Chains A and B, each alone.
Chain A
Amino acid sequence: MTEDTKKSAFQFHGNWVDFAKIALVNLLLTIITLGFYRFWATTREREYLWSQTQFIDERFEWVGTGKELFIGFIIIAFLFLIPFSLLYFFATIINPLAAGIVYIIGLLFVFYFVGLAKYRMLRYRLSRTYWHGIRGGSDDKGFRFGLTYMIKTTLGFLPLGLANPWATCELWNERWEKLSFGPNDFQSHASYNSVFGTYLLSYIFFPFTWVYQARLRRTLIDGLRLEKLEFAFTASTFDWIGLIIVDVLIVLGTLGIGLIFIPYRHWQFYINHLEAYGEVNLDALTQSQTAKEKHGEGLLDAFDVGAI
């Protein structure tokens, strides 16, 4: 890595040997607990990654716990997965039509929960992230966002998928505008205008999908503001391709063990390409008054929507 002449507001200080010590023990503990340790494993990894990430003069602090993630998972398992599986099983016994109906209702539920979970994941992470003793959060529980998500995602796909960039930007903006850090609300003005051309090209020539994906991420983050701070994301298409190729080589070269480094590599990638401009007034940055939910991103975990 080369030092830029002008230092970025975000600095990553981690090293992969330290991360490996955490990740390998996590892997072993997860295996011998039949997967149950993974909630605590995730927490340990986040504690490390957050603590190695500096913003201006101070590192972040992750205060989420494995127990919270575990409770989130249990809630989803008992409220949704297990009852639905039982219902589906007995429906298949009665007749295929009943099973089909249960299946479709289940899919609609999943659709709703994916939207809800995408919002809840952000809210949970912000409410567990401290910087200078101040955290983020939101009082919006996101139940309405789950509905908006269903509607806008569907609208985005209807005209041959053409409105997809519009739906993605709208939903991103909506999610962030519900969130705050300290006393300040996030503002998000990502516009599909700047990515729509590339999106059309990806219909004609498939590799433009990658260009679109890279642009989309830049557009989304470039549109974010927090009080006097503006954010930017600098990863180009080639940066992304490089990241993915090395990911694949690492995973193949280590016969899969390298998978445990992927969270580290991607976090590092995001932080190295994340920029912030503007100023922070420490006196005016007071504690968030938002409610803290008691459980973690169990929804997202259960539906495996994948993290950024």
Chain B
Amino acid sequence: MANDIVDPFFSVSHFDGKTAVRRKVEIQTIGQNFFLLENERRHGPYTFDYMHFVSKTKDNISYGYEDIDGWRLTLSGPIPEGLKPLLPATRTYGSWIDKLGLGKASVAFIAVSAAVLVVGMTAPQWLAPIIPQSVENSLGDTLVGDFGGRFCNTPDGKAALAKLTNSLDGNPDDLQVEVVNIDMLNAVALPGGKIFLFEGLIQQAESVDEVAGVLGHEIGHVRERHVMQGLLRQLGLSLVLGGLNENVGGVLNSALSNSYGRDAEREADSHSIRVMSEANISPIGTKGFFEKLADMTNEDNDISEMTSYMSSHPLSTERAAAFQKSFDANKDYKPALSSAEWGAIKSMCKNDPDVKSGFGFDLFDE
């Protein structure tokens, strides 16, 4: 019943939550219920089940009560054994951690965090295939439109380009391959199966086989859905980083630069090697292209677009070697296009009276 043997150092103070007056009280327990005795007055009855832990310091533990705002029972000194089992549990790190224990909770947190990191970093890879092709297509159309009228177009040139594409891909209707009138040694794959070969690349190519290899590589990016992965990665990054990127054009620019990561580049290269072999096109031209890239970066060149192409693609000498290795001396290789067809592609931009030239396109303005 009422307080048995109470330690003289044990004391209880009480705020009723209605006024700030502190009350010295004794606890009178009756089963699960209790009263607080203060001189002549008796507060209660209260039920232990409705008490909750509020705070503790070295000497004190404070409890609150269900719906009474500011109601406090503060116990100081060693708590009587009879009272201990009736009081609610205290809290230290937070209820979850307290239940498990700090050690076990830490192990659990590390495991969950590692899983979250793995899922988060691989999300673009498994999310990209889920996004419907139609969404990607309309995204691609919104993005580039007619690229500011910079697509080169002559009937012969387009026909030759279509023939080259057909020889490298079984489903060329999904693809839109264009030669873009910008003097840049580069090619990009954009959302919606758009592949742009820049005029600089066409003019500097020593053979059509070289262009075939680069086109095969970009088709590889499309078929492996690297483009959407890249966009999703960029989107995820901008979300994680708060999204408030100062540089308005920056997000798109880096999404569109062919920085799909080294693994993606290797995948695109092997795709290129495979489709070229199936089409009986020699890989030696493409090997030459990468050697040329390697040479140009070794010299201190002032062609800046060069270095940007390099930085995102695996080392050119390594790539050249991969194409070299795929060369089969016993195979009867044929040129990717006749010299007349190749000529039609090479002269397409020159012979198109309507095409606009150069940079100054919004998307690439910083």
Contacts and interface: CB of A to CB of B under 8 A. Distances in A.
B20 A81 contact: no
Nearest to A130: B70
Interface stretch (B40-48, B105-113, B153-161, B322-330): B105-113
Contacts, number: 122
Interface stretch (A61-69, A154-162, A172-180, A232-240): A61-69
Contacts of A33: 109, 112-113
A88 interface: yes
A61 B244 contact: no
A25 interface: yes
Contacts of A52: 57
Contact of B106 (A32, A135, A283): A32
Contact of B362 (A59, A63, A96): A96
B360 interface: no
Chain B interface size, as a band, is 35 or more
A286 B21 CA distance: 9
A34 B117 contact: yes
Interface string A43-81: 110010001100000110111001000000000000001
Interface in A7-48: 25, 28-29, 32-34, 37, 40, 43-44, 47
B252 A93 contact: yes
Contacts of A100: 248
B46 to A, nearest CB: 15
A116 B176 CA distance: 51
A175 B22 CA distance: 31
Given A25-B93, A33-B113, A44-B93, A133 B239 contact: no
Interface string A134-170: 1100000000000000000000000000000000000
Interface in B211-260: 234-235, 238-239, 242-245, 248-249, 251-252
Contacts of A131: 20
A106 B20 contact: no
A186 interface: no
A92 B17 contact: no
A38 B22 CA distance: 34
Contacts of B20: 131-134, 182, 280, 282-283, 285-286
A85 interface: yes
Given A89-B243, A100-B248, A287-B17, A133 B139 contact: no
The DSSP consensus for interface residues of chain B is mixed
A204 interface: no
Contacts of B239: 82, 85-86, 89
Nearest to B249: A96
Interface residues of A, number: 51
A259 interface: no
A292 B15 CA distance: 19
Given A40-B93, A133-B17, A133-B71, A92 B62 contact: no
A93 B143 contact: yes
A32 B110 contact: yes
Contact of A95 (B54, B102, B244, B362): B362
A182 B19 CA distance: 9
A261 B335 CA distance: 71
B331 interface: no
Best-buried of A51, A58, A133, A287 by chain B (most CB within 10 Å): A133
Contacts of B93: 25, 29, 40, 44
Interface in B309-324: none
Nearest to B110: A32
A58 B22 contact: yes
Contacts of A82: 239
A13 B365 CA distance: 60
Contact of A135 (B22, B69, B362, B365): B69
B70 A94 contact: no
Chain A CB within 10 Å, residue with most, of B139, B143, B243: B243
A93 B243 contact: no
B84 interface: no
A251 interface: no
A92 B72 contact: no
Contacts of B248: 92, 96, 99-100, 103
Q: Which 8 A-B pairs have the closest CB atoms?
A: A85-B243, A133-B15, A132-B20, A285-B20, A133-B70, A282-B20, A40-B94, A32-B109
25 contacts: A29-B93, A29-B97, A33-B112, A33-B113, A37-B94, A44-B93, A47-B55, A58-B22, A63-B55, A81-B243, A85-B238, A86-B235, A88-B245, A89-B234, A89-B243, A93-B143, A93-B252, A94-B142, A96-B365, A133-B17, A133-B71, A134-B15, A135-B69, A282-B20, A287-B70
Interface of B: 15-22, 54-55, 57, 62, 64, 69-72, 93-94, 97, 102, 106, 109-110, 112-113, 116-117, 139, 142-143, 234-235, 238-239, 242-245, 248-249, 251-252, 362, 365
Given A96-B249, A130-B70, A133-B15, 13 more contacts: A25-B102, A34-B116, A43-B94, A58-B22, A63-B55, A63-B64, A86-B239, A89-B238, A103-B248, A133-B16, A134-B15, A134-B20, A283-B19
